[in-house]
Amino acid sequence: MTFAELPDTEGIARRMVTLPGGVQLHVAEMGPRTGKLVVLVHGFPEFWWSWRHQLRALAAAGIRAVAPDLRGYGDSDKPKPGSQAGDYSVRALAGDIAALIKALQRELGRPSEPAVLVGHDWGGAISWAVPALHPEVVAKLAILNAPHPGAFRRSLWRHPSQIAKSWYIIMFQVPGLAEHMMRRDPGRMMARTLYGAAGNRKAITRDDVQVYADAIVRPGVLECALAYYRSMGAALGDFKALCQPIACPVLVLWGTQDPALGAFLAEDGRPFCTASYEIVWFADAGHWLQLEESAAVSAQVIGWATA
């Protein structure tokens, strides 16, 4: 599906940004160039389009809102996993976001100014890593249903229920299995993924399911998306660096109906942060928080970014 064929994209601009090292990230953006920069990072199995409601709301509030396609997704570059350029470790992906923030701020004429970073799911995992590894680029951090890597690691032995909730991560390690299941019937698999992890299913339309089903089976995307999970072992060697204290203020937005991530993980990120740490709970929402509670999430992010 091309950008022109995507539903609900009116007013959203898009372009490519080249990072040092040559990787190109596709970004969607809205809002005045004079506004504060807020970067919105998607998760699996999404792409920038998952933030379309927030792009409009933030832009209307005078914010410069930018949502990239992560490396391997959407219209961004898709280096083959395992190749010299095909590094899908958390460190490499966090480096992409840090480099993107620097590039965007240079374009806006404020090269030393940090941004507000917002991440969901895998975008949240990456966003946790950015202020740990590149603290100079993040002024504030907002996380949607994504555990701090240290909290998640601890949960696997402190909370046995989380091991059962994480069964899909183990399945994704089997070469070819997830690829076969998704390609055999992408619409059905995407419906199971989206509706199965939602608290507010009415917020997810058939159009949403079809857009994400089409996006995940684009050439190269599924292999790259699964490489995120298959590179998780590399994070063990980086664990100390990824768990460096986060000095910027942190806001955690959490849908408590998420079947894959225990709600205790929201609180368990607190010990890794040295500045303010706030949690806002969404009792009727599940994993797809920016879609299930789009207006409330937008309001929270606007308030957080402009305070």
pLDDT digits 0-9 by tens, 26-43: 999 999 999 999 999 999
Distance CA 301, CA 67 (A): 14
pLDDT interval class at 175 (50, 70, 90): confident
* Total tally of structural domains belonging to the chain: 1
**178 vs 66, higher pLDDT:** 66
Model pTM? 0.96
CATH number, residue 10: 3.40.50.1820
- pLDDT above 80: residue 1: no
Q: State which residues form the domain around 25.
A: 3-306
User: Identity (one letter) of the amino acid at 153?
Assistant: R
- 159 has a pLDDT exceeding 80: no
Contacts of 12 (CB under 8 A, 6+ apart): 28, 29, 30, 52, 55, 56
Identify the residue with better confidence: 281 or 5: 281
What is the dihedral sign for C-alpha 96, 101, 104, 110? negative
pLDDT of residue 35: 98
Model confidence over 50-73: pLDDT tens digits?
999 999 999 999 999 999 999 999
pLDDT at 9: 95
Question: What is the identity of the amino acid at 98?
Answer: A
CA-CA distance, 285 to 289, in Å (whole number)?
A: 6
What pLDDT, on the 0 to 100 scale, is given for residue 74?
Answer: 97
CA dihedral 264, 269, 271, 275 (to 10 degrees): -130
Inter-residue contact 200 to 57 (CB < 8 Å): no
**Looking at residue 84, what is its pLDDT?**
84
The band of 174, judged by pLDDT with boundaries at 50, 70 and 90, is: confident
pLDDT at position 273 is: 98
Nearest to 281 by CA among 250, 255, 249, 251: 255
Write down the mean pLDDT value for the chain.
94
Sign of torsion, CA 4 9 15 16? negative
Q: CA neighbours within 13 Å on the CB side: how many for 181? A: 13
106-153 pLDDT per residue, tens: 999 999 999 999 999 999 999 999 999 999 999 999 999 999 999 888
Mean pLDDT to the nearest integer, 248-259: 98
Contact 146, 268 (CB under 8 A): no
Q: What is the pLDDT of residue 236?
A: 67
Please tell me the predicted confidence (pLDDT) of residue 180: 86
